[in-house]
Amino acid sequence: MHKKKKLSFSNRVFHIFNTIFWIVVMFIVLYPLYLVVIASVSDPDAIVRGEVIWHPVDFSLVGYKAVFGYAEMLSSYLNSFIYTITGVIISIAVTLSAAYTLSRPKFEGKALLNFIFVFTMFFSGGLIPTFLVMRDIGLYNTRLIMILMGGVSVWNLMVARTYIQTSIPQELYEASMLDGASHFDYFFRIVVPLCKTIIAVLAVYYGVSKWNDYFTGLVYLRDRSLLPLQTVLREILATLQVDKSGDYMLSIADNAASMNEAMRIANVAKYCIIVVATGPVVILYGFMQKYFEKGVMIGSLKG
């Protein structure tokens, strides 16, 4: 009796410790995000005075007005949407159909193709040779390269293949084949509709990496009208390194009354930019979350 009580006491201590531990972790994880959001709707002067800590101070939307009033921001935002949506659709189509072929047990050349794909995970051409080849084949400074670069990830391909192998019953395949279905019939009518979960996971993986990519735009684009959002943000950041006062955003706030006013607004606009740039991926994640956990677990366990 006595021994049992002692043990449950030690377990209770553990749970108290664990609760405190998670409160601290949650604070570290969420507070920076929370701070950005509340600062983005606060008065710029209050931010500079350091008053915005727990809640918005002197609610105002001047920052968002400035950000959305900046032409290049809007066009790059639109570009990012174009690249992300078309890129994700193409990536999912290519990945899923390749994953289907690789998941067929009797497909000839499976081992060779597997090797060809996996090898690229460990050895790549590197930045400069890739750049030169892309330039030679005419993909430099095109929208196409923004859509196709990073189009198929080996990891995602393997996750999708495992998913098809393990979660679609082999009976279905055999029954369809007996009914005289072709691979196309079976793939489009049965596999694709049963792959909702993995399609959601792929959409999140590909969507996030495409939306967040600034480097491809930096390396492969010359025309400013083609730049995606993250590359434009990076430029804003690069100028931020030079003048720490924040007047890098003068152009953003150029409809403001004076230089002082512009600099004042820049103090809040930088928070707004973060919210605006990160919003879409967080929303995407929120929508897909239901499928997400299940799919990721399957992929990671078997992949």
Partner 1 sequence: MRTIKNKVPQNKILQKKVPQNKIRKKKSFAGIMKRNWQLYVLILPAIIYFFVFHYMPLYGIQIAFKDYKAVNGIIGSAWVGLKHFTTFFNAYYFKRLLSNTLLLNVYYLLWSFPVPLVLAIFLNQIRGSKKKRFIQTSIYVPYFISTVVLAGMMYIFLSPTSGIFNFAREALGLKAIDFMSNAKAFRSIYIISGIWQSAGWGTILYIASLAGVDQELYEAAEIDGASIWQKIRFIDLPGLVPVAMMVFILDCGRLLSSDTNKALVMQTAGNISTSDIIGVYVYNVGLGSGQFSYTSAIGLFVNLINFVLILSVNKISKKITDVGLF
Residue 247 token pair = 């007047």
- Roughly what angle, to the nearest 10 degrees, separates helices 71-103 and 154-167? 50
CB closer to partner 1 out of 226 and 277: 277
How many C-alpha atoms does 195 have within 13 Å on its Cβ side? 27
1-24: b (≥16 Cβ within 10 Å) or e: eeeeeeeeeeeeeeeeeeeeeeee
**Minimum distance, C-beta of residue 55 to partner 1, in the bound complex (Å):** 14
SS3 labels along 225-236? HHCCHHHHHHHH
Q: How far is the CB of 225 from partner 1 (least distance, A)?
A: 19
Minimum distance, C-beta of residue 186 to partner 1, in the bound complex (Å): 9
Nearer to partner 1, 122 or 223 (CB): 122
Q: How far is the CB of 5 from partner 1 (least distance, A)?
A: 11
Q: How far is the CB of 85 from partner 1 (least distance, A)?
A: 17
Residue 250 beta carbon to partner 1: minimum distance, rounded to whole angstroms: 17
**Nearer residue to partner 1 within complex by CB, 184 or 225:** 184
Residue 2 or 225: the one with the smaller Cβ distance to partner 1 is: 2
Residue closer to partner 1, measured from CB, 61 or 93: 93
Q: Which is nearer to partner 1, 245 or 260 (CB)?
A: 245
Smallest distance, Å, CB 134 to partner 1? 8
Of 71 and 137, CB closest to partner 1: 137
